[in-house]
DNA sequence: AAATATACCTTGAAGTACGAGGTATCAGCG
DNA sequence: CGCTGATACCTCGTACTTCAAGGTATATTT
């Protein structure tokens, strides 16, 4: 039902390529600390998205470490559009449920 | 992360007491078909909430069948307040992430 | 030399959600 | 009368998602 981690990753990577460790911090920042996703969530999702062809990876040595930068493919942009729409639908549905005044039943 | 079914049930039962089968249809209505939760989701959640003391049940024979009406306890109202707040936090976080213009990184 | 930060990763468990099925009653139709 | 469809309850097994905890290795700071 949720797919929130996937949505956030796709959204951030649609703006610019980033690496996993960076994405962990970025999600905290961009959601105003409302959502914190650990590395145990981020890395597996990145790998799955890459396998699906939604992301492409590029290894880049920086200092003595290696960073793996991810960016969106066309497929990834499609997926992002789908998930965004889906999210909006769910959000509107729940908002309307929460706001429906007492006694209003179709 | 999600807890959406629980939130919707608590919200509906805060308005008036309802029975399981009715809640299934009600959730479809109140969310404008955005969210459909089957009986396989609803009944287990109702039972769990009752066990937790968030709901109380009342069996009521209607025609030849028996309906189980649920209503909120004080604990259930607390839980509803918590989940509503949590939902708002997540919603705002994701909205801000989705709306952040390209290049805006704290 | 030790601790902290960076950067990658996996594993096992817990939590959530769902579809498919099962029981039984009642109303309507042919 | 038998059949179908709606009402109304329920559970089971499975799948999906998410997470915390741990593991490796290098660079930087103390």
CA distance A8 to A32: 13
The pLDDT of residue A100: 74
Is residue B71 within a helix (H) or strand (E), and if so which, with residue range? strand B65-72
Chain D positions with an atom below 7 A of a protein C-beta are 7-13, 17-23, 25-28
- Look up residue B29 and give its two tokens: 């209505």
B90 touches chain A (CB under 8 A): yes
ipTM: 0.89
CA distance A56 to B75: 48
B42 CA to D5 C1' distance (Å): 22
B81 touches chain A (CB under 8 A): no
Report how far apart, in Å, the C-alpha atoms of A49 and of each of A8, A70, A74, A78, B14 are: 12, 10, 12, 12, 40
Half-sphere exposure of A61 toward its Cβ, with a 13 Å CA cutoff? 2
Query: CB–CB of B23/B33 below 8 Å?
Result: no
The pLDDT of residue A104: 47
Percent above pLDDT 70 for chain A: 94
CA distance A41 to B73: 36
Question: What is the rounded average pLDDT for all residues in chain A?
Answer: 92
The pLDDT of residue B100: 74
Of B7, B91, B105, the CB nearest to A91: B91
Q: CA of B103: which chain A residue's CA is closest?
A: A15
Question: What is the rounded average pLDDT for all residues in chain B?
Answer: 93
**All structural domains of chain A:** 4-99 (1.10.10.10)
A40 CA to C1 C1' distance (Å): 31
Whether the CA torsion A70, A8, A4, A62 is positive or negative: it is positive
The pLDDT of residue B104: 47
Chain C positions with an atom below 7 A of a protein C-beta are 6-12, 16-22, 24-27
Which pLDDT tens digit goes with each residue over A42-90?
Answer: 999 999 999 999 999 999 999 889 999 999 999 999 999 999 999 999 9
Q: Looking at beta carbons, which residues of chain B come within 8 Å of A8?
A: 94, 97
């Amino acid at each position: 039902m949720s797919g929130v981690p996937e949505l956030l990753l796709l959204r951030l990577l649609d703006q610019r390529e980033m690496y996993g460790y960076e994405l962990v911090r970025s999600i905290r920042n961009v959601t105003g600390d409302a959502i914190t996703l650990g590395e145990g969530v981020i890395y597996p999702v990145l790998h799955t998205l890459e396998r699906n062809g939604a992301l492409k990876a590029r290894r880049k040595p920086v200092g003595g470490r290696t960073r793996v930068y991810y960016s969106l493919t066309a497929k990834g942009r499609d997926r992002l559009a789908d998930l965004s729409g889906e999210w909006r639908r769910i959000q509107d549905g729940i908002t309307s449920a929460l706001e429906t005044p007492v006694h209003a039943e179709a």
